[in-house]
Amino acid sequence: MLNAAQNERLTQTSKGTPMGELLRRYWHPIAGSSELNEENPTKEIRLLAEDLVLFRTTKGGIGLIEPSCPHRKANLSYGVPEPDGIRCAYHGWVFDETGACLDQPSEPAGSRFKDKVKIKAYPVEELGGVVWAYLGPAPAPILPKWDILTWDNVERFIVSMELPCNWLQCMDNSLDPVHFEWLHNYWGSYVLGMEKPAEERAEWKERMQSENARGRHEVKVGFDRFEYGVIKRRLLEGDTEDNQWWRIGHPVLFPNTLRVGQNRNFSFQIRVPMDDTHTHHFVYRVQVPEEGVVLPPQGPVRVDFENVYKPDGRVRADWVLGQDQAAWIIQGPITDRTDEHLGATDVGIILYRKLINEQLKIMEDGGDPINVHRTDKGPIYLQQEHSYYPGYTETGGPFRDMPLHSPDVEMELAEKISADFA
Amino acid sequence: MLTQAQNDRITRVAPGTPMGNLMRRYWHPVAASVEVNEENPTKEVRLLGEDLVLFRSTRGVVGLIEPSCPHRKANLSYGVPEPEGIRCAYHGWLFDETGACIDQPSEPAGSKFKDKVKLKAYKTEELGGLIFAYMGPEPAPLLPNWDILTWTNVTRTINAVDMPANWLQCMDNSLDPVHFQWLHRYWGGWNIARKLPAGEGQDFDRSTLSRGREHVKVGFDRFEYGIVKRRLLEGETEEDQWWRIGHPILFPNILRVAQDHWHSFQYRIPIDDTHTKHMLYTVVVPEPGVTVAEQGFVPYVERELYDEKGRLNNTIVPAQDEAAWVMQGPITDRTTEHLGVTDVGIILFRKMINENLQIVEDGGEPINVHRDPAKNVAIPLATEHTYYPGDDFTGGQFADKPLLPPQVEASMQ
């Protein structure tokens, strides 16, 4: 349970707020590269409570600028792309990706007026089919080359969703392995079962009452700090500690990214704060082919936009990610953490809040927080249990022989769970 | 005309306000029974300025609890109904209808944590196809068993509409018989005529573009449960049931209105200061000797307040009333109103509200709060020109009510 000031400190996103400034020390994905092209040369962006316009010039350059033309404030997302920038729809002023005004075509010859107007512009980079933006103080850190962003011979796609809730609710969820049994296995089954016609539900109800109907029970959960954030581990009923679920686990990258996957699927779930009460859930998925298979070159990485609501106005929950998103949304626009009751199973959440508060302090003392990259180390591999990395025949890839050790924080859970599913 | 403070005092219903405290002494319908079932086991409701979740367990028990799970604040309207209560979608905490947390399935064995969390919960009862809630201090009074809620061999229907208007505007209307000539006959007739094809509209105009029968006088009496409203119409004597019997307003927010073979309650349920659920509960009594089919459940429909153009619906009588209330504004500005001679009933009702506010503030029990089980049996209410079960005459046990002058009266001539 936090006080109101503590909750605000962790959740605010605007420039000048502690968390808003900490979030500005990181590169954030704002679009798929394929979203900006000749057909759609501009996109309106809201990031960290700032309204911006992303555009691509006809030469292929990319810019992220404040939205309103400084002349008479028309929105530049309606502008015309040109080789060197974007030309305002209203009176033709041209701006480049640094925010400089290059042309004011109707001002008198010899006018220096254009040198006096400049709009806010932020650095952008493209990597792995994603447009990344940096809104923090210069010098900008290096955009980290995470493994899955750089791999060749894989298939990528992006799923993009706008959520009416604060980003930290998503992160709480990623530090809380126990929700899997309830939100996904129990409630998820209920939601899917209720979508069947009433007369076809008997078999489903019976199955829900059987042993293991709520999936395998977690016996304990564990968390370790590491260079880029926190590693999450779980020991499932019937497994030994040598199992990759416990020995390897998978990471939460500070401050707002979950790495998750299994088998040949690898993904990032990036919870990009649009503002205090809205989050762009940017899901980046990579499929690794079977060993020896060479895929044809992919071309542009597809972006699918998913609505989080059903036509009846309730939150969609018929897929795993939809269930997570439903949980975050039904916690309210900003969860009232002054009135929550954290239990033994919430140790990961408490650890993460501690980590955030430490990084806020480091930043306020003038230092670089965790997971800010200043040297190019090339592709950075991240651990992901039970997964086939390119070039490895066993799961776990470069982490497959990671030794067993005790996590920094560990919690034993109830031995058995039950529920009276009706 | 009231001061701002006086208007606030009698209209606002949030917890801790004077009127909020008075309203909390009464049972209020919060939903129709059929609104929570296996298909839709939960409903998000707002009542007296409080957000709540209504649920039905798989054993059929109804609960009304605060909406957010105390663990990580997920909304319980997304929960799974179980035999003993509702289980949160997120981590499976289970709550019963008293708000007690009866399971925290992933907490370590032997943990007492669940005994330390409890949700706000309010009492509910089901009667006549409605779910009633009580949000006031203990001990809760009896849920009144009004006649039409308990009759057998009748046909019931329920409908409701949520309106962006304070509840008291609805009650002002019920204490104001004169609006009938204008709002329903004249304005309603004009609206209906305008919607008809050209030629038919003119014919319709001729028959309806009048104010109907003039009110000669209106009268009001206080009685045990509220106020009885009476009217003398042009061409009738005081012996007529419209004047001699009339029909009641039940304090604080119910109109009983009836005619011929149908009886109804109009519940004006305060959602919050600026929103009201108008629930119409209608009971049709068959001719004597006729047995109607058992209903099984009482059907419920939600009505639309606005038409496809976004204007207030106005072609049926309740919609005309609702349009009037909505167009008086979210909370009518009674600091700039001008009450005339025809508004004596409104003034009487405000006086009654203020008296009962004072009674509550003095620690007493306001009017129309029921505590005696012996008297809480099919409590009869008088309505004029109306057939009661088994009768071939109108007025039921009130048919021979003697003619008495009303306590308050206003002449329209």
Of the ranges A88-97, A281-290, B117-126, B187-196, which one carries the lowest mean pLDDT score?
B187-196
Would you say residue B14 has pLDDT above 70? Answer: yes
- Residue A206's pLDDT is what? 85
Same domain, A153 and A129: no
User: Which of A1, A187, A346 has the highest number of chain B CBs within 10 A, making it the mutation to test binding with B?
Assistant: A187
CB proximity list for A110: less than 8 A, separation 6 or greater: none
User: Which of B76, B91, B111 has the highest number of chain A CBs within 10 A, making it the mutation to test binding with A?
Assistant: B91
Q: For residue A21, how many other CB atoms are within 10 A of its CB? A: 20
Would you say residue B275 has pLDDT above 90? Answer: yes
Exposed, middle or buried by CB within 10 Å (0-12, 13-18, 19+), for B362? exposed
> pLDDT tens-digit profile of B130-156?
999 999 999 999 999 999 999 999 999
Q: Is residue A205 part of a domain?
A: yes
Of the ranges A62-71, A75-84, B38-47, B181-190, which one carries the lowest mean pLDDT score?
B181-190
Same domain, B404 and B344: yes
Instruction: Bin B277: left if φ > 0, else alpha if -120 < ψ < 50, else beta.
Output: beta
Cβ-Cβ contacts under 8 Å, A342 against chain B: 71-72
CB proximity list for B310: less than 8 A, separation 6 or greater: none
Exposed, middle or buried by CB within 10 Å (0-12, 13-18, 19+), for B34? middle
Q: Is residue A186 part of a domain?
A: yes
**How large is the average pLDDT for residues B240-262?**
97
- Residue A216's pLDDT is what? 85
Same domain, A153 and A121: no
Would you say residue A228 has pLDDT above 80? Answer: yes
The alpha-carbon gap from B332 to the nearest alpha carbon of chain A, in Å, equals 31
Pull the structure tokens for residue B89: 């979608």
Q: Is B9 on the interface with A (CB under 8 A)?
A: no
The alpha-carbon gap from B107 to the nearest alpha carbon of chain A, in Å, equals 5
- Residue B185's pLDDT is what? 83
**How large is the average pLDDT for residues A160-184?**
96
- A414·B58 Cβ contact <8 A: no
Q: Is A204 on the interface with B (CB under 8 A)?
A: no
Residue range of the domain that includes B160: 148-411
Read off the pLDDT band of A392 (50, 70, 90). Answer: very high
E strands present in A2-41: 28-32
CB proximity list for A308: less than 8 A, separation 6 or greater: A161, A162, A163, A164, A315, A316, A322, A325, A326, A329
Determine contact, residues B42/B79, Cβ cutoff 8 Å. yes
- A341·B117 Cβ contact <8 A: yes
Last residue of some domain: B111, B140, B169?
B140
Q: In chain B, which among 267-286 make CB contacts under 8 A with chain A?
A: none
Q: Is residue B74 part of a domain?
A: yes
Same domain, A293 and A341: yes
CATH number of the domain that B202 lies in?
3.90.380
The alpha-carbon gap from A404 to the nearest alpha carbon of chain B, in Å, equals 24
- Residue B377's pLDDT is what? 97
Last residue of some domain: A78, A104, A133?
A133
Last residue of some domain: B88, B110, B140?
B140
Angle between the N-to-C axes of helices B188-195 and B317-327, in degrees from 0 to 180, rounded to the nearest 10:
110
Q: Is A21 on the interface with B (CB under 8 A)?
A: no
Give me the sheet containing B101-103, strands edge to edge. B80-81, B86-87, B94-95, B101-103
**How large is the average pLDDT for residues B95-104?**
97
Q: Is residue A364 part of a domain?
A: yes
Element (H, E) at B63: strand B62-65
Among B78, B82, B108, whose Cβ lies nearest the Cβ of A344? B108
Number of domains in chain B: 2
Same domain, A34 and A129: yes
Same domain, B240 and B159: yes
**Cα separation of A6 and A356, whole Å?**
11
- Residue B202's pLDDT is what? 65
Same domain, A193 and A51: no
Among B39, B58, B106, whose Cβ lies nearest the Cβ of A181? B106
**Cα separation of B406 and B245, whole Å?**
11
Q: Is residue B6 part of a domain?
A: no
Same domain, B73 and B192: no
Same domain, B167 and B290: yes
Among A335, A415, A420, whose Cβ lies nearest the Cβ of B72? A335
Percent of chain B topping pLDDT 70: 97
Of the ranges A140-144, B278-282, B314-318, which one carries the lowest mean pLDDT score?
B314-318
Cβ-Cβ contacts under 8 Å, A326 against chain B: 78, 89
Same domain, A79 and A158: no
User: Which of A174, A192, A308, A420 has the highest number of chain B CBs within 10 A, making it the mutation to test binding with B?
Assistant: A420
Would you say residue B209 has pLDDT above 80? Answer: no
Cβ-Cβ contacts under 8 Å, B115 against chain A: none
Same domain, B116 and B161: no
Read off the pLDDT band of B213 (50, 70, 90). Answer: confident
Give me the sheet containing B121-127, strands edge to edge. B28-32, B130-134, B121-127, B62-65, B50-56, B42-47
Is-cis flag, bond preceding B270, omega within 30?
no
Same domain, B38 and B135: yes
Q: Is residue A417 part of a domain?
A: no
Q: Is A331 on the interface with B (CB under 8 A)?
A: yes
E strands present in B203-253: 215-223, 226-233, 247-250
Would you say residue A255 has pLDDT above 60? Answer: yes
DSSP structural state of residue A333: S
CATH number of the domain that A120 lies in?
2.102.10.10
Which residue is closest to B43 within chain A, CA to CA?
A314
Same domain, A69 and A99: yes
Read off the pLDDT band of A341 (50, 70, 90). Answer: very high
The helix/strand/coil state of B45 is strand
Among B84, B106, B108, whose Cβ lies nearest the Cβ of A420? B84
Would you say residue A416 has pLDDT above 80? Answer: no
Would you say residue A383 has pLDDT above 80? Answer: yes
Q: Is residue B399 part of a domain?
A: yes
On average, the pLDDT of chain A sits at 95
Same domain, B33 and B160: no
- Residue B77's pLDDT is what? 98
Same domain, A348 and A222: yes
Q: In chain B, which among 157-196 make CB contacts under 8 A with chain A?
A: none
CATH number of the domain that A178 lies in?
3.90.380
Q: Is residue A307 part of a domain?
A: yes
Last residue of some domain: A98, A133, A168?
A133
Last residue of some domain: A104, A133, A162?
A133
Residue range of the domain that includes A119: 27-133
**Cα separation of A295 and A288, whole Å?**
10
The b-or-e profile of B164-183 (16+ CB within 10 A means b, else e) is: ebbbbbbbbbbbbbbbbbeb
Q: Is residue B235 part of a domain?
A: yes
The alpha-carbon gap from B120 to the nearest alpha carbon of chain A, in Å, equals 13
Would you say residue B110 has pLDDT above 90? Answer: no
Last residue of some domain: B87, B109, B140?
B140
**Cα separation of A99 and A122, whole Å?**
9
Read off the pLDDT band of A17 (50, 70, 90). Answer: very high
> pLDDT tens-digit profile of B111-127?
999 999 999 999 999 99
Same domain, A95 and A164: no
Q: Is residue B256 part of a domain?
A: yes
Read off the pLDDT band of B332 (50, 70, 90). Answer: very high
- Residue B136's pLDDT is what? 98
Same domain, B155 and B41: no
- Residue B76's pLDDT is what? 98
Q: Is residue A377 part of a domain?
A: yes
Read off the pLDDT band of A46 (50, 70, 90). Answer: very high
- Residue B201's pLDDT is what? 67
- Residue A324's pLDDT is what? 98
Number of domains in chain A: 2
Pairs of residues, one from chain A and one from chain B, whose beta carbons lie less than 8 Å apart = 122
Same domain, A248 and A303: yes
Same domain, B306 and B187: yes
The helix/strand/coil state of B103 is strand
Which residue is closest to B108 within chain A, CA to CA?
A414
Q: Is residue A20 part of a domain?
A: no
> pLDDT tens-digit profile of B343-353?
999 999 999 99
Q: Which residues pair with A224 in a beta bridge?
A: A231
Among A182, A344, A418, whose Cβ lies nearest the Cβ of B90? A182
Q: Is residue B301 part of a domain?
A: yes
Would you say residue A211 has pLDDT above 70? Answer: no
CATH number of the domain that B57 lies in?
2.102.10.10
Same domain, A283 and A176: yes
- Residue B303's pLDDT is what? 96
